[in-house]
Chain A
Amino acid sequence: MQKKFGMAYIVDRCVDCKACMVACKAEWDVPEDHFRTHIHTGIKPEKREKPSMDFLPHQCNHCDVAPCVTVCPTKASHKREDGIVFVTRSKCVGCKYCIASCPYDARFFNHDIGVAEKCTFCLPRALEGKEPACATTCPGNVRVFGDLNDPESEISVLLKDAAEKRLNVWKLRTDLGTEPNIFYVKK
């Protein structure tokens, strides 16, 4: 069966160490002022006696119905058969339309080479059967990467288990119809 790559974050394991961001930057030579993956911070003000913080990893969602792919005039941005949304640099004219189109603010303009950029699930590593650099580096094992179509893969097992235990599993902004492939799990 055709592979379909996705990622799940077990969010309550994230300690905001940002090792993923650094690993990604090192792997992909991302320009100084940008990151391909971020950690957002949320504070729970309602529990005032004991304020708590949450950390939300965030990156390209490799949407099934990806606005960035719809709007790209050159087809540089495209959805691969394995589910990865990829930007072919040699075709990208640098119009930035995809950047404005992404509701997840997952893309940025790489001024050094004049093209749009974002997370690619570390495509060359994925093709070798390895995890993306962020997942390998994460000390908390927050990031679980794999083939959603393979019931034996770690991510499928995690999602199945989470469903059975009725854990809180969600995706971002499903109301926009983008069909994202990043899952958030709270254990």
Chain B
Amino acid sequence: MEFQEAFEWYVAAYLFLAGVGAGAIVAAALADMYDREKYLSFIKAASVIGMPLVSIGIGFLYIDLGQGFWKPWLLILLFANPTSAITWGTAILTLFTLFSLVYGAYNLGFIKFSGGNTMRWLLIITGVLTAGYTAVLLGVLKAIPFWHQTALPILFIISATSTGISGAMLVKEVFFKNHDHLGKIESTHMYLLILEIFLLAGMFLIALQGVPEMKYSAMSLLTGKFALEFWLFLVFGGLLIPAVAFALAEGGKMKISGGKLVLFEVLVLVGGYFLRHLIIHAGVYTQKFTEYLH
């Protein structure tokens, strides 16, 4: 079995940052529609990271491109092929970046016009597409069975929303020094983490029954080459510990604020990065062909 080496950590960083940025804005737009007054600090914090993180993510993509920096005019060709998921992604990202720039400028008081509910819906749609597309990019490749799974975009959208909430909470706590209690957002976050755990477990159960390459990828995460990072940074650090902590907080058995909040949100973010990093690195090509000799 041969691990793919075409996509490395730069691509993981791009997928992660695009996810956090998009997730934060989607969560903010939803909170905005629900009760703008109450969640204003969260909405502002999300606006600070939304567009910038997506742009930094795109920056990582440019660094990864063999020619992006040397021949920037080639970037316009990224729109050239309608059958390519990169072309879809470029279009989605361009729209999302523009919309979230306007929305951010409005929330932070630079401009007066937000575009109202239309804008919020556009943000939610392009934001979800941004988060989901990063998985579709991998999912359309038949050559790597572990990526060729429908569950992947759903997993990435949930993880993007959850890491987006973490990013915005973190900014709110550290930079806005605002300790508003945002009950609804916190319980949503807990449910997202639980959903992610179930989805991930399901994906592995299915992968273990799949073609040998798929199984090999799954095993490389569960017990093989990437097991340490998988269990430590993704499963325990990124999902189980924060999920349990948020559940205890939900039940009133623990108070999460200040330093503790920062710690758990950072754990979720690290987990979100490792989710992409590990899924990318565990990609295994379809079988070598020597067996066809017999």
Contacts and interface: CB of A to CB of B under 8 A. Distances in A.
Interface of A: 11, 40-42, 44, 46, 54, 56, 58, 67, 70-76, 91-97, 99-105, 109-111, 113-116, 170, 172-173, 176, 184
Interface string B100-120: 000000000000000000000
Contact of A73 (B64, B66, B70, B84): B84
A73 B81 contact: yes
Main secondary structure of the interface of B (DSSP, over half): loop
Contacts of B290: 40-42, 54, 56
A95 B85 contact: no
- Of A58, A92, A97, most buried by chain B (CB within 10 Å of CB) is A97
A140 to B, nearest CB: 16
Contacts of A71: 83-86, 140-141
Contact of B77 (A46, A54, A93, A172): A93
Given A93-B77, A94-B66, A100-B7, A172 B140 contact: no
A73 B133 CA distance: 15
Nearest to B88: A73
B141 A73 contact: no
A172 B142 CA distance: 15
Contacts of A101: 141-143
Contacts of B90: 73
Interface in B1-27: 2, 4, 6-7
B31 interface: no
Closest A-B pairs by Cβ, 10 of them: A94-B66, A114-B66, A42-B290, A74-B77, A73-B86, A99-B6, A103-B143, A54-B293, A96-B6, A73-B84
Interface in B54-83: 64-68, 70-71, 74-75, 77-81, 83
Contacts of B77: 73-76, 91, 93
B291 A42 contact: yes
A91 B289 contact: no
Given A71-B86, A73-B86, A115 B141 contact: no
A70 B83 contact: yes
B294 interface: yes
Contacts of B67: 92-94, 114-115
Contacts of A114: 65-67, 70
B142 A176 contact: yes
Contacts of A103: 142-143, 285-286
B6 A173 contact: no
A173 B289 contact: yes
Contacts of A93: 65-68, 71, 74-75, 77-78
A74 B65 contact: no
A89 B87 CA distance: 19
B78 A74 contact: yes
A42 B294 contact: yes
Contacts of B50: none
B292 A170 contact: yes
Contact of B84 (A41, A70, A92): A70
B292 to A, nearest CB: 6
Given A97-B86, A114-B70, A11 B80 contact: no
Nearest to B8: A96
